[in-house]
Amino acid sequence: MDYTNILTNQEGLVLTITINRPKQLNALNKETINELHHALTAANQDNAVGAVILTGSGEKAFVAGADIKEFADFSVEKGQALSAEGHELLFNFVEKMTKPVIAAINGFALGGGLELAMSAHIRIASDNARVGLPEVSLGVIPGYGGTQRLAQLVGRGKAFEMVTTAGMIGVEEAQSWGLVNHVVPHDELMALANKIAGKICKNSPNAISAAIRAINANYEDGVNGYQAEIEEFGNCFGTPEFVEGTTAFLEKRKANFRKD
């Protein structure tokens, strides 16, 4: 598929997907969401991809939100339908990817942009980034998981403040809140993202997927996260990657989990 709104670039096992609508500060329209879904689905099925980096094009923005021009005239029914579709195609999809997704926040991450970053497994930011959920200033609430994931990441008190004030915070505050793991100068952002992705790719792909499922299990209705961990843990013992990992340790060599 040819993409209009995103760029993809694979180096080694790391796939970088860049949202590429810089004139609109990479705002997410429907077409961009569909393209992201397509690229992420392909990455999820591809054994040659070990980790995914999501970032935005240009110096200014990761993603400045959902495209306001697109949702300005929505009805109640359309708003609900598209919120559900967006959850399924992108935000829940990213969270449930079997490969780690790193959001490299290179500028504004607002509204749907912060919601996308919060769906990712790891967030890092450049020092010019500013993040917030300004939806209530537009007469709506965060509709792509923001009310849930922000509270999970930073606690309810800070989530209530960020959502109800519609304010933006800088990276120092975002890091102290636990919303981003690392802050680096703008020109070092992608190097750090690739460094983290590279470390991930040395480990067992099967165990990484199992760990993602186990961590996510804690946030799923009616699922006992500890029980999910027990099952995922047990299943690891039946895999060739477990044999390789333990054998390599005993033989005092580095494990090679990606033999073809």
Q: What separation in angstroms does the CA of 153 have from each of 22, 156, 169, 219, 222? A: 28, 9, 15, 11, 20
Q: What is d(CA 202, CA 218) in angstroms, rounded to the nearest whole number?
A: 26
State phi, psi for 111 to the nearest 5 degrees: 50, -125
Kindly identify the residues of this chain, within the stretch 164-223, that bind ligand DAK according to CB under 6 A: none
Catalytic residue among 35, 95, 135, 241: 135
Question: CA 55, 220, 222: angle at the middle one, nearest 5?
Answer: 175
Q: What separation in angstroms does the CA of 78 have from each of 36, 62, 67, 86, 142? A: 21, 26, 15, 12, 15
* Candidate list 38, 58, 74, 184; residue touching ligand DAK; CB under 6 A: 74
CB of 185 to ligand DAK, least distance (A): 20
CB of 74 to ligand DAK, least distance (A): 5
Give the total of residues touching ligand DAK (CB under 6 A).
24
Q: Does the active-site annotation cover 135? A: yes
* Candidate list 15, 33, 67, 232; residue touching ligand DAK; CB under 6 A: 67
Count of alpha carbons within 13 angstroms of residue 205, beta-carbon side: 20
Q: Which two tokens stand for residue 47?
A: 């054994």
Q: Does the active-site annotation cover 251? A: no
CB of 113 to ligand DAK, least distance (A): 7
Residue 27 makes contact with ligand DAK by CB under 6 A:
yes
Binding site for ligand DAK (CB under 6 A): 24-25, 27, 64-69, 71, 74, 79, 82-83, 86, 108, 110-112, 134-135, 138, 143-144
